């Protein structure tokens, strides 16, 4: 049973590290127990992610194939027509998705015609009865308000990594810029989707620090994507080793323990995980996955919807129906 007053917002690094470093079986058992107190462990939320504007981004995130400055083979695509996006959303709904996320490779939202078109898309997807999510870069308070009025349910803005390690990964913005946008999203009454990536060369202490930043927010993000680095050829991180599955499981289990009410989303890097490895992640408390059309997640490979549905069936899991909308409390 949910106990809203059981949520903590004052975790110390030592407490988090002690959880992260527990003997693995113990950690997974405890996380699975917490998962069962807060969620139906048989349900997995299926979210579809569509890149509505691809590549050509002025930022320098070292992990991203969409940064204009890296020589990747990603095809730049201008903002898609609204009708095309709505056709994708309809298809996603018909395939079992309850959330549709639109991503644009922008540094920040500008108050121009493209933003007006995003507003039209948000209205259209909302009318289809899907939870609408966007990830568009940095956002001002008034832009967040416009999105909320159009029916936006969630805004994705990942912390990426720890505050301490941030400059090693991105130089074109600061960790505080991320926090600022998240605050603007909250003020507008939109739910927050925020997590990060592991496998960037960070230490366990950085993972813990990132989780602590999320867990000590005044209100926990409703969604927490945990990504494994997708090593994109042409980016500075392309030669880093693949993240060990047990590190991923530890990260998910720790997220589940300290953010018990949040949806913990298994995101990028899933293509490199076997069904057994993904099952471990679900056991550790992951209860959401991204599917992308054409078997891509933005610009990196991802399992296809049919493959995912087959996996859920094999594991005795089922797609979650659309959540009852919560009213976000203003912070």
59 binds ligand SF4 (CB under 6 A): yes
61 binds ligand SF4 (CB under 6 A): yes
Token pair listed for 146: 């416009």
Task: Candidates 16, 67, 224, 249: give the one binding ligand SF4 (CB under 6 A).
Answer: 67
Number of residues located near ligand SF4, criterion CB under 6 A: 9
| Residue 328 known to be catalytic | no
267 binds ligand SF4 (CB under 6 A): no
Task: Candidates 50, 64, 237, 311: give the one binding ligand SF4 (CB under 6 A).
Answer: 64
Token pair listed for 10: 């004052």
User: Binding pattern to ligand SF4, positions 107-126, x when CB under 6 A?
Assistant: x-------------------
Nearer to ligand SF4, 2 or 174 (CB): 174
222 binds ligand SF4 (CB under 6 A): no
Nearer to ligand SF4, 177 or 216 (CB): 177
How far apart CA 295 and CA 6 sit, in angstroms, is 39
| Residue 281 known to be catalytic | no
Which residues, including other chains, have CB under 8 Å from residue 33's CB and lie 6 or more apart?
Answer: none
Tell whether residue 134 is among the known ligand binding residues: no
66 binds ligand SF4 (CB under 6 A): yes
| Residue 101 known to be catalytic | yes
Strands in 118-271 per DSSP E: 131-135, 154-156, 191-193, 196-198, 223-228, 263-266
Of 36, 99, 265, 270, catalytic:
265
136 binds ligand SF4 (CB under 6 A): no
Provide, rounded to whole angstroms, the least separation between the CB of residue 52 and ligand SF4.
12
| Residue 265 known to be catalytic | yes
Q: How far is CA 115 from the centre of its chain?
A: 22
Q: Of 146, 200, 156, which Cα lies nearest the Cα of 178?
A: 156
By the 8 A CB rule, do 253 and 23 touch?
no
| Residue 212 known to be catalytic | no
How far apart CA 310 and CA 44 sit, in angstroms, is 13
Of 134, 193, 281, 328, catalytic:
193
How far apart CA 203 and CA 190 sit, in angstroms, is 32
Beta bridge partners of 281: none
By the 8 A CB rule, do 72 and 125 touch?
no
57 binds ligand SF4 (CB under 6 A): yes
By the 8 A CB rule, do 281 and 29 touch?
no
- DSSP class of residue 321? P
Where is the binding site, in residues? Answer: 57, 61, 64, 101, 133, 193, 265
Catalytic residues: 57, 61, 64, 101, 133, 193, 265
Where is the binding site for [2Fe-2S] cluster, in residues? Answer: 101, 133, 193, 265
Provide the binding-site residues for ligand SF4, judged by CB under 6 A.
57, 59, 61, 64, 66-67, 105, 107, 137
């Amino acid at each position: 049973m949910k106990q809203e007053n059981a949520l903590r917002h004052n975790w110390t690094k030592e407490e988090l590290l002690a959880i992260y470093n527990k003997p693995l079986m113990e950690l997974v058992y405890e996380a699975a127990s917490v998962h069962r107190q807060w969620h139906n462990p048989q349900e997995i939320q299926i979210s579809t992610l569509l890149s509505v504007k691809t590549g050509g981004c002025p930022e320098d995130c070292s992990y991203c194939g969409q940064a204009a400055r890296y020589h990747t083979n990603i095809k730049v695509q201008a903002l898609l027509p609204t009708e095309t996006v709505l056709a994708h959303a309809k298809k996603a709904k018909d395939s079992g998705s309850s959330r549709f996320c639109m991503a644009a490779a922008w540094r920040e939202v500008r108050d121009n015609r493209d933003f007006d078109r995003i507003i039209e898309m948000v209205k259209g997807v909302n009318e289809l009865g899907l939870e609408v999510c966007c990830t568009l870069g940095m956002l001002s308070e008034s832009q967040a308000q416009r999105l909320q009025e159009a029916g936006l349910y969630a805004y994705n803005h990942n912390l990426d990594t720890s505050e301490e390690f941030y400059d090693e990964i991105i130089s074109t913005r600061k960790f505080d810029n991320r926090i600022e946008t998240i605050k603007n999203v909250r003020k507008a009454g939109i739910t927050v989707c925020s997590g990060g990536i592991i496998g960037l060369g960070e230490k366990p202490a950085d993972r813990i620090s990132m989780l602590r930043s999320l867990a000590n927010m005044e209100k926990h993000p409703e969604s927490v994507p945990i990504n494994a680095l997708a090593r994109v050829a042409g980016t500075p991180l392309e030669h880093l080793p693949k993240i060990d599955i047990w590190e991923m499981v530890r990260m998910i289990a720790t997220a589940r323990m300290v953010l018990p009410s949040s949806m913990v989303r298994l995101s990028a890097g899933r293509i490199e995980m076997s069904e057994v490895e993904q099952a471990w992640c679900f056991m550790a408390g992951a209860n959401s996955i991204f599917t992308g059309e054409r078997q891509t997640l933005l610009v990196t490979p991802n399992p296809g919807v049919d493959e995912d549905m087959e996996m859920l069936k094999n594991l005795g899991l089922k797609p979650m129906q659309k959540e009852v909308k919560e009213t976000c409390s203003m912070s």
